[in-house]
């Protein structure tokens, strides 16, 4: 029997529940996936600082979508007291989640493009590295597309980011309990303060990626384009996909970090 996963249908159900409980919380679509699924954003709070949390750029990392929906529910009841406005896109790659249910190791979108290698941040270098890894065509992981933002999902997220001018951004991935924070040595001011607080409230540690993970990602692009703090947070520990039964444990370890992120 297949192990249960957190699918697009689960996300829709949770979003509807959130809308019922907190009708004042705006929920809207920022675009569609290759297969026509809506890419939902949730806006919580009314503070002047704007932060962006996104999850599930990668198909097997659906636990991050569940984490962000749960977090959206948790903070929706306190939104009148928040000093920030929090924008959450819980599932950037719903098609990839669906494919990962039947194809082992699937991280890409429905076109076989790895969305976290499809942003305009030394993308050409990312391509060269791909080729050195023997990746020349669409597939389960690491193919960065024909050009930056070639995919509807990355275009939607990038447009949404350009429109909203966020003060900081946090992309949830799995796994490893590590936090990536730089882009080719660029560390925007304010980054160190976040890292210190994250390390105070958790056992997650900062790290610097190497090889193919160094370019073309959302965090890379955000830092390069806006010169403001952005982080890739690798939640949990184990082998992807982390099982649904890990949820409570992973959520309790990441929750203090998320609260620091939206301060």
Query: Which positions are annotated as active-site residues?
Result: 215, 234
Provide Rg for the chain, Cα atoms.
17
117 in contact with Zn ion (CB under 5 A): no
Part in contact with Zn ion (CB under 5 A); list of ranges 22-30, 33-41, 54-62, 242-250: 54-62
61 versus 182: smaller Cβ distance to Zn ion? 61
**Residue 189 DSSP one-character state:** T
87 versus 218: smaller Cβ distance to Zn ion? 218
CA distance 145 to 111: 9
Q: Give the contacts of 49 (CB within 8 A, at least 6 positions apart).
A: 83, 84, 85, 167
Q: End-to-end distance of the chain based on CA atoms, in angstroms? A: 42
66 in contact with Zn ion (CB under 5 A): no
* Minimum gap (Å) between residue 236 Cβ and Zn ion: 12
Task: Pick from 58, 66, 117, 224 the residue near Zn ion by CB under 5 A.
Answer: 58
CA distance 159 to 149: 10
Nearest to 216 by CA among 129, 91, 90, 139: 129
Closest residue to Zn ion, based on beta-carbon distance: 173
* Minimum gap (Å) between residue 179 Cβ and Zn ion: 13
* Minimum gap (Å) between residue 197 Cβ and Zn ion: 23
Angle in degrees, 0-180, between the axes of helices 247-261 and 191-201, rounded to the nearest 10: 140
- 205-207 and 178-180: which strand pairing? parallel
CA distance 251 to 237: 12
CA distance 250 to 43: 23
* Minimum gap (Å) between residue 173 Cβ and Zn ion: 3
61 versus 130: smaller Cβ distance to Zn ion? 61
Q: What number of chain residues touch Zn ion (CB under 5 A)?
A: 3
* Minimum gap (Å) between residue 176 Cβ and Zn ion: 10
Part in contact with Zn ion (CB under 5 A); list of ranges 14-22, 26-34, 86-94, 167-175: 167-175
**Residue 192 DSSP one-character state:** H
58 versus 127: smaller Cβ distance to Zn ion? 58
Part in contact with Zn ion (CB under 5 A); list of ranges 156-164, 170-178, 188-196, 207-215: 170-178
173 in contact with Zn ion (CB under 5 A): yes
Residues that bind Zn ion (CB under 5 A): 58, 61, 173
């Amino acid at each position: 029997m297949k192990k249960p996963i957190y699918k697009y249908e689960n996300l829709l159900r949770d979003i509807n529940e959130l809308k019922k409980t907190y009708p004042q919380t705006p929920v809207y679509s920022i675009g569609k996936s290759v297969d026509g699924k809506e890419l939902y954003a949730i806006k919580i709070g009314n503070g002047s600082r704007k932060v962006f949390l996104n999850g599930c750029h990668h198909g097997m990392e659906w636990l991050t979508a569940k984490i962000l929906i749960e977090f959206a529910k948790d903070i929706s009841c306190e939104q009148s007291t928040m000093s920030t406005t929090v924008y959450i896109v819980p599932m950037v790659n719903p098609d990839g989640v669906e494919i990962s249910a039947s194809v082992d190791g699937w991280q890409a979108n429905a076109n076989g493009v790895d969305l976290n290698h499809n942003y305009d941040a030394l993308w050409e270098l990312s391509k060269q590295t791909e080729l050195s890894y023997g990746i020349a065509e669409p597939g389960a992981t690491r193919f960065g597309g024909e050009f930056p933002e070639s995919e509807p999902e990355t275009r939607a997220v990038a447009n949404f980011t350009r429109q909203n001018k966020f003060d900081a951004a946090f992309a949830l991935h799995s796994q490893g309990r590590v936090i990536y924070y730089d882009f080719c040595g660029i560390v925007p001011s304010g980054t160190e303060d976040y890292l210190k607080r994250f390390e105070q409230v958790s056992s997650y540690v900062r790290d610097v990626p190497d090889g193919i993970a160094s370019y073309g990602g959302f965090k890379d692009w955000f830092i390069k384009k806006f010169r403001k703090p952005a982080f890739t947070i690798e939640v949990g520990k184990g082998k992807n996909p982390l099982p649904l039964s890990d949820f409570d444990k992973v959520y309790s370890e990441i929750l203090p970090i998320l609260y620091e992120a939206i301060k």
